[in-house]
Amino acid sequence: MRTVFFLVQKEFLQIFRNKTMLPMILVMPVFQTLLLSFAANYEVKNLALSVVDHDLSPSSRQLTAKFEASPYFQLQGQYFSVKAADEAMAREETDIILEIPANYERDFIREGQAQLSLTANAINANKAGVGLAYAGGIAASAMDAPSLTVDNLWYNPRLDYKVFMVPGILGEIVSLIICFLTALNIVRERELGTIEQINVTPVKKWQFILGKLLPFWSLSLVMMTVGLTAGKLVFSIPIEGDIWLIALYTIAFAPTMLGLGFLISNFAQTQQQAMFTAWFFILIFILMCGLFTPLESMPEWAQWLNMLNPVKYFVEFMRLVLLKGAGLAEIGSNMLAVILYGLVVNGLAVYTYKKRI
């Protein structure tokens, strides 16, 4: 282990001397957490609304005023014909058309309800669906329609998208940075020729690989701590679970991505090759990890294939522990999966590493 200690010492010296690597480790988790949490916004606001009012009554004007007061809609224009509103939608000037029929006030007073027509630009299906849901809620409240259900919102009662996104983003960022840096760091040494000086020494393969991985292993905890601190201070994300469980899981998970980065570096001759190869896998991991789309919505074959996605396990863990307060019993199978994944990947990395003596 004395040999490994000196190798680790050498790696830390190289990391702290590298003017680009240290900012990536300390600054990038904060920057990406802030940027992605604000940019990956599931909320739909400022929808352009066009109103076609055939009634022109106090009730219809009151309904229009309710839409104007909502933060989700901006009144784009009021028209006297549906054709004019449709033309505005065709020009991408409006997202939702509210058509108030003639005799709206009369029907509302006599029968306690009235018909309304809502038309949405469904090119963006998510935006249209959310917009129609908002509009339906405002129309129901304007007509004092009774609620048929009682909503109980657990774990995220304010429906704040940041509470849902930030834990997943933290897991994704830590996973990808350590994989990326490990691959580039080893290939960079190969390009500079310094790795050949180690290859001609009696250092064993497992000692060399362990000496390379341990520094980034410890730095993964630093990145997680920095990211969690930023998430708590800026977004006030809840931390319902045990903070030590998060540290333990990060320690168990990090070798998975470190080994994957090392495996990529074994087959890459240049940093450019390593970068493109790592990015190929990273892009798949991001799109399929459940960060932006529910895993349950994927086809069954994709869900089975996703079991090979290490980032999926970390994102799932972060949300379970931070938001639901899950303990070791609830995430035990998840942790076992990443430990086995790490053993397989690092075993392949050791096997495929070519040490020239």
Domain boundaries, given as residue ranges, for the chain: 2-40+157-352, 47-142
Q: What is the pLDDT of residue 336?
A: 93
| DSSP 8-state symbol, 308 | G
SS3 353: coil
pLDDT score at 291: 79
Q: Residue 42's Cα: distance from chain center in Å? A: 11
Pick the CATH number of 47-142 from 3.40.1710.10, 3.40.720.10, 3.40.50.2300, 3.40.50.300: 3.40.1710.10
d(CA 289, CA 312): 4
**Burial readout 107-137 (b: 16 or more C-beta within 10 A, e: otherwise):** bbeeeeebebeebbbeeeeebbebbbebbee
Question: In a structure prediction context, what are the per-residue pLDDT tens digits for the chain, which is 357 residues long?
Answer: 677 777 777 777 777 776 767 677 777 777 777 777 776 666 677 889 999 998 888 888 888 898 888 888 999 889 888 899 888 888 888 999 999 888 888 887 887 777 888 898 887 777 788 888 888 888 877 766 544 344 455 666 666 677 778 888 888 888 888 888 888 777 877 777 766 666 667 677 777 777 777 888 888 888 888 888 888 888 888 888 888 999 999 999 988 998 898 888 888 888 888 888 888 888 888 888 887 777 877 888 888 988 999 999 998 998 889 888 888 888 889 999 999 999 999 888 888 877 554
d(CA 247, CA 117): 53
Q: Determine the pLDDT at residue 39.
A: 67
Residue identified by tokens 């310094």 is: 194
CA distance 357 to 347: 21
